[in-house]
Amino acid sequence: MKSICILGSTGSIGVSTLDVVARHPDRYRITALTANRNIDALFDQCIQYRPEYAVVVDADRAGVLEQRLKNTAASHVQVLAGAQALEEVASLPEIDTVMAAIVGAAGLLSTLAAARSGKSVLLANKEALVMSGQLFMNEISRSGARLLPIDSEHNAIFQCMPAHYEAGVSPKEARRILLTASGGPFRETPIEQLERVTPEQAVAHPNWDMGRKISVDSATMMNKGLELIEASVLFDMPAERIHVVIHPQSVIHSMVDYIDGTVLAQLGNPDMRIPIAHALAWPERFESGAEPLDIFSIKRLDFEPPDESRFPCLKLAYDAVEEGGIMPAVLNAANEVAVDSFLSGRIPYTEIAPVIDHCMTHCSQNSADSLASILESDREARAISNAYIDRNF
């Protein structure tokens, strides 16, 4: 039986992971669960799954959770507080597998801690690779950790790679990666109407049930831009060989084009339990709880290239990969600030890309060869983005 830590257990990936794990109680036990502030959901999870540890980043709420767990069937749970505690539970010697599902830069340090500790890292936090890139992959190689991608697209690519493929190795037989995207809720919206888009409209994804930040990223296609950067690192492939394809049905989750003319695709219903179950069971397979794909009800599969005038964030991501160094981390930080500002009403939807572009133009060209340098560039990019927004809105 394997012991699992779920970083971000109250988010959509964390909840789906618990659903899959609950279907296989003979194979996994939940040892640690973590949340940022949502102690109501974390309390319910502690009661149901009885972990040994529960981490709440917000210290005040951690105290509240600890009090609520007293005199319950989960009174044994050790409640820890603070960001440092995320790294501690991700590194516990009794942990075999870490689901890295904390959204954004906040998940970087704990995901790195899991990699350094030689765990099986199930990576749903794409920002870890976007920000730290080769630094992260070096830690995986040094410690002997196993890296398994959870993003539906990267998991699909992984499944389409040759047998016994390991992340970080350039597949010589693969000519290119075809990274599919739904196109989000505004794929057909007249461009002149985008400036009036509301946060509620932007988070209403047509196919996937995701958090607010990721849903906005899907609408702008920055989510695909971050996935492009992640795929370049995960599969050691230059960005010019990774092509984004809009596929509105979200049935094909990505494809790999081989040098002999073969194109392999991974298909399935849009249910994150599928890639989660694949990574948990790898190299085997087991039940995920997802409905089987009814191929006869699909009727058609559409594909189209992305429109750069509609999705300027995607070009910014390609620019960041081309420039290399610290620029992917700068892009990620500026995007987090811009999306948060849009969701809080500080800027309109159409200003997300200009904020990122301004930050990429004005941020210092630091190296990306140390964690300290990456974190410093992250801080600088956030300051530049916020200053730009304060001056102009």
Which stretches of the chain are assigned E, i.e. beta strand? 2-7, 28-35, 53-56, 78-81, 97-100, 120-123, 146-149, 174-181, 242-246, 252-258, 263-267
CA distance 365 to 360: 10
pLDDT digits (tens, 9 = 90+) for 26-68: 999 999 999 998 999 999 999 999 999 999 999 999 999 999 9
Residues 6 or more apart in contact with residue 246 via CB below 8 angstroms: 180, 181, 182, 183, 187, 303, 304, 305, 306
Question: What pLDDT was estimated at residue 54?
Answer: 97
Q: For residues 358 and 347, what is the distance between their CA atoms, to the nearest angstrom? A: 14
pLDDT of residue 210: 66
Q: Would you give the end-to-end CA distance of the chain in angstroms?
A: 54
CA dist., res. 237 & res. 227, Å (int):
13
Q: Are strands 53-56 and 2-7 parallel, antiparallel or unpaired?
A: unpaired
Instruction: Average the pLDDT over 222-248 and give the result.
Output: 95
Rounded (to 5) percent helix, strand, coil in the chain? 50, 15, 35
276 and 20 in contact (C-beta within 8 Å)? Answer: yes
Alpha helix (H) residue ranges in 183-221: 199-202, 212-220
Token couple for 21: 């794990």
Share the mean pLDDT of the chain.
94
**Mean pLDDT of the region 371-382:** 94
Please tell me the predicted confidence (pLDDT) of residue 209.
61
Q: What are phi and psi of 27, to 5 degrees?
A: -115, -25
Task: Determine the length of the chain.
Answer: 393
- Cβ contacts of 266 within 8 Å, gap of 6 or more: 155, 156, 157, 159, 160, 252, 253, 254, 255
> 176 - beta bridge partners?
257
Could you tell me whether strands 252-258 and 174-181 are parallel, antiparallel, or unpaired per DSSP bridges?
A: antiparallel
pLDDT above 90: residue 336: yes
Which CB contacts under 8 angstroms, 24+ apart, belong to 375-381?
377/326, 377/329, 377/330, 377/333, 378/105, 378/131, 378/329, 378/330, 378/332, 378/333, 379/333, 380/330, 381/329, 381/330, 381/333, 381/334, 381/337
pLDDT confidence tier of residue 8, bands split at 50, 70 and 90: very high
* Structural contact between residues 140 and 117, judged by C-beta atoms closer than 8 angstroms: no
Mean pLDDT score, 298-311:
94
Phi, psi of 249 (to 5 degrees): -75, -20
3-state secondary structure of 252: strand
Given pLDDT bands bounded at 50, 70 and 90, which one contains residue 153? very high
Q: Which residue has the tokens 């996935």?
A: 227
pLDDT of residue 87 exceeding 80: yes
Task: Report the pLDDT value the prediction gives residue 205, as an integer from 0 to 100.
Answer: 67
Residue type, 47: I
The Cα–Cα gap between 71 and 125 comes to: 35
Q: Return the closest-CA partner of residue 252 out of 174, 325, 159.
A: 159
The pLDDT of residue 207: 62
Structural domains for the chain: 2-149 (3.40.50.720)
Mean per-residue pLDDT for 111-116?
Answer: 95
pLDDT (0 to 100) of residue 137: 94
pLDDT for residue 206: 65
